[in-house]
Copies of this chain bind each other. A is one copy, B any other.
C-alpha cells in the first residue's frame, strides 16, 4: 500500500500549529522525524476508506480524524522504541527518535504528538460540531485507559496477561478508533464499525507477528526477531508459524464478512484484500505450507 497524498497533506496540516514560530527547534525536528516519512499509514487509510464508504460529506473533518489517529500511532511508536521498552535502534529504516534526538526529546515528542492529535479535531469540527464529542470519545478509547494502546503496552509490565486482551488493547483498539472515526466524521454511527476495526487490528497483529519471524531487518525497516528477543507474547510463538498463517487467513475471511452494509462496501472489501496480500504475501504462505 503506497502513501496517499491526501493523508500526507492532512498530516502536514495537523502539525502546522505545533511548528508555528517560537517552537524549540530540536523538538520540532523530532516530531517531523517521527511522522515523516511514514510507514504504510494503514490506520488513516482505514479512516478515509470508512468515511468514503459511509458517504463522506465533510472531507476536512475526515482528514483531521485520520491525522489524529496517525499522530497517536506515531506517538506510540516513539514511546515503544524508548530504551526502557524495546530500545529499538531503527524504525522505518532510519534511526528511532531516541537514537536520533536523545531519550528526553523522544519522551517529549511522544507527548507533543498526543496533544497535537487532539488539537487538530476542534477547528476541523466547525461545520459539524455535534460530531466532535463522539470523535473525541472514540479516539481517547483507542489510545488511553482502560483498553487502548497505552493499556496494551502496560499489560507487558504485568506478570500475567491474556494474549487476546493484550493484542486487542495494543493494536485492535486503535484500529477500532480508526474505523469508528471514519464513520463518525461522515456523520454515521461509529458503533457498527467497532467490531470490524477490532478484527482488522487482530489480523494486522497476526501478520506483524508472522513478519517479525519471517522477514529480515531490511524488509521490516526495524530489527526482526524482537518478540522472542524481548520475550513478548506473539501469535507466531503461541501457534507456530503455520498455525499463525492459518489464523491470518481465517481472520481475513472473517473480516470481509464483518463489513457493515453501506454504499461503498464492495470497494472497502477490495482494500482489505489488497492490504492482506501486502502484509503477508502469497509466496510466504506457500513457503510455510511447503515446509509444514
A interface with B by C-beta (< 8 Å)? 17-28, 31, 75, 79, 82, 84-85, 102-105, 107-108, 110-112, 114-116, 118-119, 121-123, 125-126, 129-130, 132-134, 136-137, 140-141, 143-148, 150-151, 153-158, 165
Residues from chain B with a CB closer than 8 A to the CB of A115 are 114, 140, 143-145, 148, 150
A163 to chain B, nearest CB (A): 14
Q: Which of B19, B145, B165 contacts A28 (CB 8 A)?
A: B145
Docked-complex contact A154 and B18, CB < 8 angstroms: no
A157 lies within 8 A of B122 (CB) = no
Alpha-carbon separation in the docked complex, A73 to B50 (Å): 36
* Residues of B contacting A125 in the complex (Cβ-Cβ under 8 angstroms): 133
**Closest 4 CB pairs between A and B?**
A115-B144, A23-B146, A18-B145, A27-B154
**Pair B132/A27 contact, Cβ less than 8 Å:** no
Residues of chain B within 8 A (CB-CB) of A158 are 24-26
Chain B: minimal CB distance from A178 (Å): 16
Please give, as numbers and ranges, the residues of chain B lying within 8 Å of A79 by CB-CB distance: 107-108, 111
**Is chain A's binding surface mostly helix, strand, loop or mixed?**
helix
Bound CA span A102–B156, Å: 13
Residues of B within 8 A of A145 (CB): 17-19, 23-24, 27-28, 31, 112, 115-116
Q: For the complex, what is the distance from the CA of A263 to the CA of B82, rounded to whole Å?
A: 50
A133-B125, A133-B129 known; A147-B104 Cβ under 8 A: no
A19 and B146 contact, Cβ closer than 8 Å, known pairs A27-B157, A158-B26: yes
Bound Cα distance A66, B289 (Å)? 58
Q: Are A24 and B155 in contact (CB under 8 A)?
A: yes
**Known interface pairs A116-B144, A119-B144. Does A108 touch B21 (Cβ–Cβ under 8 Å)?**
no
Q: Which residue of B lies closest to A145 (CB)?
A: B18
* Cross-interface CB contact of A146 among B18, B103, B132, B134, cutoff 8 Å: B18
Check if A146 sits within 8 Å of B21, measured CB to CB.
yes
**Residues of chain B with a CB closer than 8 A to A154's CB:** 24, 26-27, 105, 108, 112
Contact partner of A84 among B31, B107, B116, B134, CB < 8 A? Answer: B107
Query: In the complex, which residue of chain B has the Cβ closest to the Cβ of A168?
Result: B22
Give the contacting residue for A111; candidates B24, B111, B123, B136; CB below 8 A: B111
Q: Indicate if the CB atoms of B24 and A157 lie closer than 8 Å.
A: yes
Give chain B residues whose Cβ lies under 8 Å from the Cβ of A75: 111
